[in-house]
Structure 1
């Protein structure tokens, strides 16, 4: 004879009432009934950019890097207004004595003193930030443009085009970046700011080309690209409307990191005398090279531009690394 109290013999409605009563007896402010079980509230989707920004604004490393970068950009833009003196005028030239006092020390109105020509060091550092920013940004933009061209060719066509482009990129990557930049800058008959920009941009081209090529090869086998091909969409439209936009994320992140390297390389070329020889347009690397003769007696002339280069490069690096971590699903925390 069957037991009427056995749960298997209970009527379904009785089972439901028993489960609801047990849930009510378990305590808690809200009672979850059987009808509510499995119900999920709908919520709107979050884009990759919105999700990345949500993490970045709580990341102290990103905030520090972004703060340094923003301060540097504002300083470069408003440098002529912020500089207390004209960086080209030797206002303390009468105090320069090659034998006893070649570098006037700090005094009222000149907190960092003057250089061997009596020019205010603080004003030259502030105005020099503009030249440093121009070199870093334009070198990165030119390198990005060249890298995008080669990366699109290699990633979109494949085959012998991919092989040819990648062999050229491999040859460029086999040469140390600074040595390649020095070789290109040394070819110019008259060193200038633009020779530095072209030299650094050429060094950055293979980095962007290889990165974009890898991203586009991954996009070639994606579902939306295969669907577009099946629908008969033109190859140019597939490349520029579907593959390229979805491959630019890692390239843009790399660009923020490249700016830091471009600033350091530009300072190195100017230090070696391959930059703009006109010291009436101050630049941090140029100031660092000019301080060589006073490195033991007055090291502050070299310390200040070196500190500026290090801090700005650190700001771009921290911001770029945080962006890469936020946009890369494999490294999200």
Structure 2
């Protein structure tokens, strides 16, 4: 029997040891392909976030509440028993000298407390559309403004960053409802457009500061450094690499800001800074007009129903936003 080369014998011993420790392998007795881990397939960020969300009761509560309110606003013309401006109970108000006729067939909640005898339930349903419209448009306006300022501050830094952030700090130092009130009163005539602009300006600093922080974190990431090393222009780096990867926390924050916008809109319309006429009802305006007539002591349900609608809507968006933030935040992952 011929002797084997020492290097050959050493290689055979290593192969035999590898086969014995690897166990059954594929490929006719060959060692299994290296670099593969059983069950080690990766999952995307959205897939892992959804896996946590579906186990979170707060997410489902928030999703159900917001879904119901949105559907109520969309289908208000078909769900409301009457036109919100129709004087369906005016005869009851006049004949009985009663400012708030009680429930009756076709008007489950009775009249709204106005001298016109309008249906309260119809006005609550239509009020969801008006309230959500103000909240959504104000949030979109604040998002766009914050997107512009945050991108400029986070992408370029230097004196641009310092100037923008000092303005943002001044705006954040003023209470939001006070700042929104001051902006709304600058207009000569109160309207819902005034509310949208005022609330949007108040929300801009929140989005700007959050986006600026995300952009600063992206400036030193590996893919941005690689793009700079390859000679990619600054504009392309900001728009294609930094900004898309910084938007996730901003979109989650928009859900939380929407709840704040709805509360701010209700507060401003309550003090009379909304639309002058109440033909298109809004929940805060319904509270304000009935409070002016001093009807809450005798008919507390006139305050309960609009306030409950505001609270439930704001709670739904808050729970939804907090659940999304926890699901997408790497620090809160379990």
Range class of TM-score, shorter chain: 0.7 to 0.9
Q: Which residue of 2 aligns with 1:257?
A: 256
Q: Distance in 2 between matches of 1:99 and 1:296?
A: 20
Q: Distance in 2 between matches of 1:239 and 1:40?
A: 36
1:96 counterpart SS class: helix
Q: Which residue of 2 aligns with 1:54?
A: 51
Q: Distance in 2 between matches of 1:93 and 1:197?
A: 33
Q: Distance in 2 between matches of 1:76 and 1:279?
A: 17
CA distance change for structure 1 residues 189 and 177 in 2, over 3 Å: closer, same or farther?
A: same
Of 48-57 and 91-100, deviating more is: 91-100
Q: Which residue of 1 aligns with 2:272?
A: 273
TM superposition score normalised by structure 1: 0.88
Q: Which residue of 1 aligns with 2:313?
A: 312
Q: Which residue of 2 aligns with 1:45?
A: 42
TM superposition score normalised by structure 2: 0.88
CA distance change for structure 1 residues 268 and 98 in 2, over 3 Å: closer, same or farther?
A: farther
Deviations 1:84-119 (A, max 9, x none): 111101111121159952111111221111022210
Q: Distance in 2 between matches of 1:330 and 1:291?
A: 47
CA distance change for structure 1 residues 217 and 98 in 2, over 3 Å: closer, same or farther?
A: farther
Q: Which residue of 2 aligns with 1:214?
A: 213
Deviations 1:10-45 (A, max 9, x none): xx79x97xx99xx9xxxxxxxxxxx78x97326432
CA distance change for structure 1 residues 97 and 237 in 2, over 3 Å: closer, same or farther?
A: same
Q: Distance in 2 between matches of 1:220 and 1:98?
A: 72
1:101 counterpart SS class: coil
Q: Which residue of 2 aligns with 1:324?
A: 325
1:257 counterpart SS class: helix
Q: Distance in 2 between matches of 1:261 and 1:212?
A: 19
Q: Which residue of 2 aligns with 1:134?
A: 133
Q: Distance in 2 between matches of 1:132 and 1:87?
A: 14
- Structure 2 gap segments, 5+ residues each: 1-12, 24-30
Q: Give aligned pairs, total.
A: 310
1:166 counterpart SS class: helix
Q: Distance in 1 between matches of 2:269 and 2:60?
A: 31
Q: Distance in 1 between matches of 2:37 and 2:176?
A: 55
